[in-house]
Amino acid sequence: MAYRLVQRMLFLLLAMACSAVAQPLPSWNDGAAKQAIVKFVADVTAQGASTYVAPEDRIAVFDNDGTLWAEQPLYSQFAFMLDQVKAAAPKHPEWKRNAAFNALASKDPKAIAAIGQKAILELLVVANSGMTVADYDSAIRAWLASARHPKFQRPYTDLVYVPMQELLAYLRANGFKTFIVSGGSVEFMRPWAEKAYGIPPEQVIGSQQDVAFGMKGGKPVLTRAPKIAFVDDGPGKPVGIYRSIGKRPILAFGNSDGDWQMFQVTAAGEGARFVGIVHHTDDVREFAYDRKSHVGKLDKAWDDAVAMGWTVVDMKKDWKRIFAFDP
Amino acid sequence: MAYRLVQRMLFLLLAMACSAVAQPLPSWNDGAAKQAIVKFVADVTAQGASTYVAPEDRIAVFDNDGTLWAEQPLYSQFAFMLDQVKAAAPKHPEWKRNAAFNALASKDPKAIAAIGQKAILELLVVANSGMTVADYDSAIRAWLASARHPKFQRPYTDLVYVPMQELLAYLRANGFKTFIVSGGSVEFMRPWAEKAYGIPPEQVIGSQQDVAFGMKGGKPVLTRAPKIAFVDDGPGKPVGIYRSIGKRPILAFGNSDGDWQMFQVTAAGEGARFVGIVHHTDDVREFAYDRKSHVGKLDKAWDDAVAMGWTVVDMKKDWKRIFAFDP
């Protein structure tokens, strides 16, 4: 008796809730990409259908840089880490004899290119080490609050894509669990990912620098060590997914060859699958780049997308607006 | 108008749901340990109280071996890995010249002790490498289905502690998110942790062996490499928590010195904190061991528990029953 009453109430509540929900993905034009997404979600949530997927297996993974927010002209985290080099320089007089430091200080692109990625990365890792994770977190938050993107003159966290925010919310409303799987590091994304994307810290997977446990003034602290422990990019992404999720995603979204292996693993599962690629085609509202870009190169994954029938989102055509500040 | 109606319905539903909920922790005797747990949960869920903690910060971490299920006379995973050595031996004729293999084959405790942990661990890691993660998962599931615990002559997964299952469910019913943080490896726990504890794969944190991405017969696979990538034990537990959760737990439960640093990190946070230790005191229904045990040694963490006023659960006195098969 009480059970039937509860059932009826739940039904009424559900009907009310549904009528209040607007059409999904309002910032997406009604093209092939949006239709493919809506069809996929309908397929995997249709109980009794052969395409149905139980909620606990509705795992959706998203690259971050270039997929959920802008990554040009330079990954935001790279800009932050470079600023950390500047900030740490007074404490490192020995850097005056460091070729990578001098190349960066010269701001000469040719000198920087000549010194090579490896030497620069080593300097970046040293400059971003030695502090507790709490102090590093404070530095990241302070930087995010003050730094401005060179093209838009706005905080970097303003540069999240509204259509992707809508997609994340739409998936969660349909029982998906959403994860970030990024080449960036976890501590750089966690301070703002929950507010920007609705993704809590424990669902942010990324690259990792070594941290060491120790006692400091009688309190337990974790201190950053100058060593990269795990690179969650390219072939590392399926490893990160295996380690941190332990299930094969049924949906993956990315924008570059760094996501290629994540796409392959997602597509290789049985049943309904969705692979989406954000193609940067809008040089006015954002940036336009693909096969030849140094940041967010989209080449092999694009070939595969064509061959496999994956969904390629054309930012210029498919998105009504990109940023919340767009007119 | 509609909003107030929804509110009233929700209130009615809530009242019905609450009246249907039985008293919490029925397998716990009404002693100090149970009272401390119930008080803590009441404190952190009391809206408006100074002890209140928002649901997204109600992070609870649990050691596995000896805390959620039995670990004596040998960690179950260790028993499995030893069986893997046996199973792999025909394919490794070179092991006949391997001192660790010969010591294990002799079953002579003195010979095994003489060879040392390191050599044995190296052999175990090699014997548990080379296959895809899917094949390894199959091997684990087959072993769990067939292996029997030497004392109880039952599947190892029968040896989960009912009072801890109740505690996990009780915490989740009060808005907590529950995680395993174990020295064992993720792939050994994930196949059964959801059914046994209600903890999904993505909330299982543990030690990690290296896995490498590759293509095999046109399909992407992950293959186990003979190298330990991360030891989630002792000082590694706070690192694992930082990497995989990114928030400080407000509740930690363990049973040995391998959990000590996890306890310290949990206790060092601000606001209401709970640290619980399962003390193995029941040699009849389970096992009795602490300061001098080779498996699950509880020594330094016990001293700290006394000094800090942490909650020590006496299995014999505090638990009405331990296993589901207990009379």
- Looking at the predicted structure, is the pLDDT value of residue A3 above 80? no
3-state secondary structure labels for all residues of A123-189 = HHHHHCCCCEHHHHHHHHHHHHHHCCCCCCCCCHHHHECHHHHHHHHHHHHCCCEEEEEEEEEHHHH
Enumerate the residues of chain B whose CB falls inside 8 A of the CB of residue A211: 239, 242-243
- What are the tens digits of pLDDT across the range A125-134? 999 999 999 9
- Min Cα separation A126/chain B (Å): 19
| B49 contact A CB<8A | no
| B87 contact A CB<8A | no
Q: Global pTM?
A: 0.91
Put simply, the answer to whether B213 touches A261 (Cβ < 8 Å) is yes
Enumerate the residues of chain A whose CB falls inside 8 A of the CB of residue B273: none
- Looking at the predicted structure, is the pLDDT value of residue A235 above 90? yes
| A94 contact B CB<8A | no
Compute how many other C-beta atoms are within 10 angstroms of the C-beta atom of residue A244.
24
In angstroms, the CA A293 to CA B122 distance is 44
Put simply, the answer to whether B246 touches A187 (Cβ < 8 Å) is yes
Q: Is residue B256 a contact partner of residue B287, using CB atoms and an 8 Å limit?
A: no
Enumerate the residues of chain A whose CB falls inside 8 A of the CB of residue B304: none
- Looking at the predicted structure, is the pLDDT value of residue A233 above 80? yes
Among chain A residues, CA nearest to B230: A229
Provide the pLDDT for residue A297. 96
Beta pairing class for B204-216 and B219-230: antiparallel
| B133 contact A CB<8A | yes
Put simply, the answer to whether B12 touches A9 (Cβ < 8 Å) is yes
| B60 contact A CB<8A | no
Lowest mean pLDDT among A150-154, A266-270, B108-112, B194-198: B108-112
| A217 contact B CB<8A | no
| Interval A89-101 mean pLDDT | 92
Shortest CB distance from B220 goes to which of A214, A222, A265?
A265
Lowest mean pLDDT among A198-207, A273-282, A304-313, B104-113: B104-113
| B265 contact A CB<8A | yes
Put simply, the answer to whether B201 touches A247 (Cβ < 8 Å) is yes
Put simply, the answer to whether B204 touches A243 (Cβ < 8 Å) is no
- What are the tens digits of pLDDT across the range B212-246? 999 999 999 999 999 999 999 999 999 999 999 99
- Min Cα separation A77/chain B (Å): 18
- Which ranges of chain B have pLDDT less than 70? 1-22
Provide the pLDDT for residue A167. 98
Put simply, the answer to whether A2 touches B12 (Cβ < 8 Å) is no
Give the ipTM. 0.90
Nearest Cα residue to A103 out of A91, A88, A120: A120
Provide the pLDDT for residue B19. 47
Provide the pLDDT for residue A114. 87
- What are the tens digits of pLDDT across the range A193-217? 999 999 999 999 999 999 999 999 9
3-state secondary structure labels for all residues of chain A = CHHHHHHHHHHHHHHHHHHHCCCCCCCECCCHHHHHHHHHHHHHHCCCCCCCCCHHHCEEEECCECCCECCCCCCHHHHHHHHHHHHHHHHCHHHHHCHHHHHHHHCCHHHHHHHCHHHHHHHHHHHCCCCEHHHHHHHHHHHHHHCCCCCCCCCHHHHECHHHHHHHHHHHHCCCEEEEEEEEEHHHHHHHHHHHHCCCHHHEEEEEEEEEEEEECCEEEEEEEEEEEECCCCCHHHHHHHHHCCCCCCEEEECCHHHHHHHHHHHCCCCCCEEEEEEEECCCCCCEECCCCCCCCCCHHHHHHHHHCCEEEEHHHHECCCCCCCC
The whole-chain average pLDDT of chain A stands at 93
Shortest CB distance from A239 goes to which of B179, B219, B222?
B222
DSSP B210: E
- What are the tens digits of pLDDT across the range A29-73? 999 999 999 999 999 999 999 999 999 999 999 999 999 999 999
Enumerate the residues of chain A whose CB falls inside 8 A of the CB of residue B133: 242
Enumerate the residues of chain B whose CB falls inside 8 A of the CB of residue A59: 202
